Amino acid sequence: MDKSTIEGLTKKLQDLGLLEKQALDTARNVPLATQYISFIESPTASTASTPIDKSKASLLLRWSTVVVSKLKDKSTERKQIGAQHILNGNLASPAQVDAALEFLSVGDGTVDEELFKRECGVGISMTKEEVKAIVMKYVASSEKAKESKWASLGKTTGELKKLAVLKWCNPIDLKSSVDESFLELFGPKDAQPTCTASSKPAPPTNPKPKKNGGSDSNPTALSASKETPAAAEPPSIFEVGMLSQLYPPGGNPQKDPKLTQDHLKATGGKVVTRFPPEPNGFLHIGHSKAIAINFGYAAHHGGKCILRYDDTNPEAEEQIYIDSILDIVRWLGFEPAQITYSSDYFGKLYELAEQLILIDKAYVCFCTGAEIKANRGGEERGPRKACVHRTLPVETSLAEFRKMRDGHYQPNEIILRMKQDLEDGNPQMWDLVAYRVLNASHHRTRDQWKIYPTYDFTHCLVDSFENISHSLCTTEFIQSRVSYEWLCHALNVYTPRQTEYGRLNLEGTVMSKRKIMKLVNEGHVEGWDDPRLYTLIALRRRGVPPEAILKFVNSLGVATAVSNIAIHRFEQTVRQHLELSTPRLMMVLKPIKVTISNLPDDHLEFIDRPVHPKVPEMGSVRVPFTKVIYIERDDFSTVHSEDFFRLTPERSVGLFQVPYPIKCNSWEIDPKSGLVTELVCTYENDRAVTKANKPKAYIHWIAHSETHHSPVKVHETRIYKTLFKSTNPASLDNFLTDVDPNSLEIVHGSMLETGFWSVCERSIRAALLKHPSHKSDSETKRNVDLEAVGLENVRFQGMRTAYFTLDKSSSLHPLVSQHSLPESQDHSPPLFDHHSPQNQLVLNWIVSLKEDSGKKIG
């Protein structure tokens, strides 16, 4: 179809109610566009005017899609009845449209209008008030809800969804009605015992310094992993939107009702989903959405999710990817109910391929790739024509296929193709390849096979074998739904229903394996886990908590539209999560030595302070304050300015949690670099701090005390910025020219307060306690290698600077190679020798503080 024809059709579809993108996508699919237009222009259509209402247009497009793909062999009456009720406003929700599809796909006789209306909720609409009344009555009478209150919110919502009386209500009305009912019956959620945000005592303020005594920390009180929600969480993606409206198990119609019965018997009527990655690369942030949806949907409904490796391409698959995928799934907090491989079914798939040949639905083809492309219409998308091998006798195709299996052919000499429908406008029906020859050893089956099934042949059938109730995938597979169902129907096996959602893309980065490989191979990044990338192993190394990633996915919701999200939005979610879940430490990125001249050489006092002012449960640390301290280079200026409120020759500055300010008397400058290297200051303890003379700013600091091993020295601090200069580097002809050469800054000589070791110990111990070995019942369950958990679990806020984590290249000298884990954090021996010269800390920048922090970094 030429460009002008597509533009004209797009304009007409827009005039008939579709949004611009909907119209353009539909115009490229002529059968779908024709069907949509015919429904509206039908003499029986009751559309009083055009364009029709946008919501009706979306539902009608949904109906037209299923008519073209699933009801094309049904009578005109059956196709028209659904469209007519949509245009009349009697089928007003996706759930009602899906119910109409299920009803009308069975049989082909005259439709029982009354039965149709009853089964599909025709004309049923509920006001928010009606929904609220039913919900309130149900919750008020639920003993479980009365007992558990807000803790039962999710379970109660799930039960309400199953009520017949609420089958056709608006899911958003249902969600808000549940929330309102719980609020009225049980009070605010924040008042519940499980909430820690509003019921906490106020943190201590202005702690008094203690003279010459005490330890450098309070490890039994410090809880680095304590998390408090920063704000109300958005509704679960499984309680609102498209995922809340999916059919129950067994609700996907089958050609033979017995297939449904067998399926439900195999699954026990439970939800079964799968996450099916190809083990040919590392997962990226887009995969986190697929993981969250598939594992989360199953968990939400009390079902199970299978991790299935789609290992049908031995030329690209490696064990390192298999191990990494499972590791990432577990890191995100999910545990597969089963771990399977497509290769588990190679024998069964081969048998079905032979069966497909025997029923004349597959044939061998000797065409070259160029010939296949030309037969499909070529670049100009011209007329399609059948391959010359399409009419080969069944016996010939079967014999040649067996020769393929037995190694008589080389790659690209022969393929097995499905005999589909060349007249269909969908390219996924143009005789797809089912099997090809590959001279590669498979990571599991080794050299057993010379031929391997394609994704298009394997995916749907393995979904069928594993009795997947909900096949959830991204919208790039919408066209594949037709071929998916065609193959299952052709072989008369159980047909899962495929449901598509929009994929997650981040602006300002690249996620294709080919492009990342180029970045790695040409030395632009350190590796696949370089923290500037958005692979999940890179985000993990960067210190991004898995909970923050899941919150980010949930905050976006789930719809069919592709999510193109700016990086700063992702970073904001990470920042919000870290705000109340990580301890705060004093850190000096680029230190200047400060000698306080009027303090004695042996001056020592201790400052007790909470590691988080808003979360007292995290405990406190005790740090020394001495004659010599270090402050941040940017906190001193040799030139006085009215808008610079930190230390200058004419302005005193307060020291965080220290009773009195300091005043600068003199400074030294390195003649080579021109940078200030040392200050001499006075401790202004000869006057009381009043409201009138209170310093305008307080800065963080770190004391020098060899006795207390202060400061804790940092070997390297790595400050990461966006890897690319533009928001869409993937669209550039040479995306490598867009790499920012200044995206990584390495700072040497940074310093941390001694409280770091308390945070480090608590963080690693908390991660060890969560390790699967700790949950085992074996006698040796708690003997876990310290390397079993990642150093990225050590996260903290460098006050007024940024959030940081330990990089995997750090060296912490362990006191033992294995640690016998306690049941709790209390009274635990140290894991590391805090004073070992072998310790070498490397910090990774996770994310900046709020943009209005008032602190310039670097």
How far is Cα 745 from Cα 540, in angstroms, rounded to an integer? 19
User: Within 13 A of 795's CA, how many CA atoms are on the CB side?
Assistant: 28
d(CA 584, CA 220): 17
- Spot the catalytic one: 503, 532, 584, 651: 503
| SS3 at position 209 | coil
Report the C-alpha gap between 91 and 84 in whole angstroms. 9
Share of the chain above pLDDT 70, in %: 89
CATH of the domain at 292: 3.40.50.620
590 and 705 assigned to the same domain: yes
Coil vs helix vs strand at 669: strand
Q: What separation, in Å, do the N-terminal and C-terminal C-alpha atoms of the chain show?
A: 56
Residue 373: count other Cβ atoms within 10 Å of its Cβ. Answer: 12
Specify the pLDDT at position 207. Answer: 40
675 and 640 inside one domain: yes
Q: Of how many residues is the chain composed?
A: 858
Where residue 780 falls among pLDDT bands split at 50, 70, 90? Answer: very low
- Helix 30-41 with 20-27: angle, nearest 10 deg: 120
Tokens in use for 348? Answer: 């069964």
- What tokens were used for 202? 């106020």
Please, what is the Cα angle at 450 between 449 and 451, to 5 degrees?
Answer: 95
Looking at the fold, whether 101 and 176 belong to one and the same domain comes out as no
Confidence of residue 149 (pLDDT cuts 50, 70, 90): confident
426 within a domain of the structure (yes/no): no
Angle at 478 between CA 270 and CA 565, to 5 degrees: 95
Q: Could you give the 3-state DSSP secondary structure of residue 552?
A: helix
Residue 559 has pLDDT above 80, yes or no: yes
CATH classification of the domain holding 162: 1.10.10.2420
Q: Could you give the CA distance from residue 563 to residue 506 in angstroms, rounded to a whole number? A: 8
**Mean pLDDT of the region 481-501:** 96
Q: What is the CATH number of the domain that holds 26?
A: 1.10.8.1290
Q: In what order do the strands lie in the sheet with 210-211?
A: 210-211, 604-610, 620-626
The total number of structural domains in the chain stands at: 5
| Lowest-confidence segment of 95-109, 237-251, 291-305 by average pLDDT | 95-109
Q: Pairing relation of β-strands 591-596 and 662-669?
A: unpaired
**Between these two residues, 512 and 146, which has the higher pLDDT value?**
512
357 domain-assigned: no
Say whether both 631 and 702 belong to one domain.
yes
Q: Which amino acid is at 403?
A: K
In the residue annotation, 161 being an active-site residue is answered as: no
**CA distance linking residue 838 with residue 320, whole number of Å:** 30
**Domain end among 691, 709, 727:** 709
DSSP symbol at 238: T
Q: Let me know: does 747 contact 857? Beta carbons within 8 Å.
A: no
Q: Quick check: is 768 in a domain?
A: yes
Structure tokens given for 121: 């909720």
Q: Is a pLDDT exceeding 80 seen at residue 83?
A: yes
Cα within 13 Å of Cα(605), Cβ side: 13
Residue type, 810: S
DSSP codes, 319-364: HHHHHHHHHHHHHTT---SEEEEGGGGHHHHHHHHHHHHHTTSEEE
User: pLDDT confidence of 351, banded at 50, 70, 90?
Assistant: very high
Indicate the SS3 state at residue 554. Answer: helix
**Residue 310: both structure tokens together:** 């789609």
Mean of pLDDT values over 437-444: 96
Which of 117, 330, 361, 513 is catalytic? The answer is 513
The string of pLDDT tens digits covering residues 755-768 is 999 999 999 988 88
Please identify which residue in the block is written with the tokens 């608006």: 170
Q: Which helix H or strand E contains 620, and what residues bound it?
A: strand 620-626
Distance from C-alpha of 343 to C-alpha of 571, rounded to nearest angstrom: 39
pLDDT band at 855 (very low <50, low <70, confident <90, very high): very low
Q: DSSP H helical segments within 562-659, as ranges?
A: 567-579
Q: Alpha helix locations (H) across 51-93?
A: 54-70, 76-87
813-832 as b/e, with b when 16 or more CB fall inside 10 Å?
A: ebeeeebebeeebeebeebb
Q: Give residue 24's pLDDT band: very low, low, confident or very high (50, 70, 90).
A: confident
547 part of a folded domain: yes
Tally of CB atoms within 10 A around 54: 12
pLDDT per position as a tens digit, 624-642? 999 999 999 999 999 988 8
Is the pLDDT at 65 greater than 90, yes or no?
no
SS3 category, 611: coil
- How many CB atoms are located within 10 Å of the residue 162 CB? 9
DSSP secondary structure letter of residue 567: H
Domain annotation covers residue 158: yes
Instruction: Decide: 303 and 469 in contact? Cβ < 8 Å.
Output: yes
Q: Which residues contact 403 (CB under 8 A, 6 or more apart)?
A: 409
d(CA 720, CA 588): 17
- Catalytic: 162? no
Q: Domain check: are 622 and 693 in the same one?
A: yes
**What is the CB neighbour count within 10 angstroms for residue 39?**
24
Structure tokens at 284: 């990226």
- The stretch 343-353 carries a mean pLDDT of 98
Average pLDDT over residues 826-850: 88
CA 593 to chain centre: 44
Q: Are residues 725 and 842 in the same domain?
A: yes
What is the distance between the alpha carbons of residues 605 and 109, in angstroms, rounded to a whole number?
A: 91
Distance CA 92, CA 101 (A): 14
**In this structure, are residues 25 and 57 in contact, taking their beta carbons and an 8 Å threshold?**
no
Single out the residue of 575, 556, 574, 572 nearest to residue 564, CA to CA.
Answer: 556
Instruction: Report d(CA 395, CA 357) in Å as an integer.
Output: 9
Judge whether residue 51 has pLDDT over 90: no
Question: Does residue 656 sit in the same domain as residue 750?
Answer: no
Q: List pLDDT tens digits, range 681-717.
A: 999 998 888 888 889 999 999 999 999 999 999 999 9
Domain membership of residue 233 (yes or no) is no
User: How far apart (Å, rounded) are the C-alpha atoms in residues 616 and 111?
Assistant: 67
Q: Give the closest residue to 226 by CA, choosing from 757, 612, 775, 548.
A: 612
> Are both 704 and 592 inside the same structural domain?
yes
pLDDT at 825 over 60: no
Do 537 and 600 belong to one domain?
Answer: no
Query: Rounded distance, CA 285 to CA 537, Å?
Result: 9
Q: Residue-wise over 554-567: b if at least 16 C-beta within 10 A, else e?
A: bbbbbeeeebebeb
Whether residue 121 contacts residue 153, with contact meaning beta carbons closer than 8 Å, is answered with no
779: pLDDT strictly greater than 70:
no
Distance CA 166, CA 159 (A): 11
Looking at the structure, do residues 660 and 556 belong to the same domain, yes or no? no
Helical (H) or strand (E) element with 198 = none
- Please tell me the number of Cα atoms within 13 Å of 539 on its side-chain side: 26
Sorted by sequence, the CB contacts under 8 Å of residue 787 that are 6+ apart come out as none
Query: Do 804 and 835 share a domain, yes or no?
Result: yes
> Is 486 a member of any domain?
no
Domain end (from 657, 681, 709): 709
Is 485 inside any structural domain? Answer: no
End-of-domain residue from the set 640, 674, 709? 709
Residue 666: which CATH number?
2.40.240.10
Pairing state between β 676-683 and 591-596 = parallel
b/e map 671-683, b = 16+ CB within 10 Å: eeeeebeebebbb
Domain of residue 134, residue span: 128-195
Query: Using an 8 Å Cβ cutoff, are 782 and 820 in contact?
Result: yes
If we measure between CA atoms, which residue out of 117, 53, 105 comes closest to residue 75? Answer: 105
Which range, 142-146, 192-196, 512-516, 785-789, has the best average confidence (pLDDT)?
A: 512-516
Query: Are both 722 and 844 inside the same structural domain?
Result: yes
Q: What is the percentage of the chain residues whose pLDDT exceeds 90?
A: 60
* Residue 241 scores a pLDDT above 90: no
Query: Cα-atom radius of gyration of the chain, to the nearest Å?
Result: 32
What span, in angstroms and rounded, lies between the C-alpha atoms of 31 and 66? 12
**In the predicted structure, residue 839 carries a pLDDT above the cut 60:** yes
Pick the catalytic residue from 159, 180, 278, 571.
278
pLDDT of residue 235: 77
Please, are residues 515 and 281 in contact by the beta-carbon 8 Å criterion? no
Dihedral of alpha carbons 439, 443, 445, 447, sign: positive
Residue 503: active-site member: yes
Question: What Å distances lie between residue 576 and 227, 549, 567, 803, CA to CA?
Answer: 11, 11, 14, 11
pLDDT in tens, 457-488: 999 999 999 999 999 999 999 999 999 999 99
pLDDT value at 828 more than 80? no
- Range in 124-138, 266-280, 589-603 with the lowest mean pLDDT: 124-138
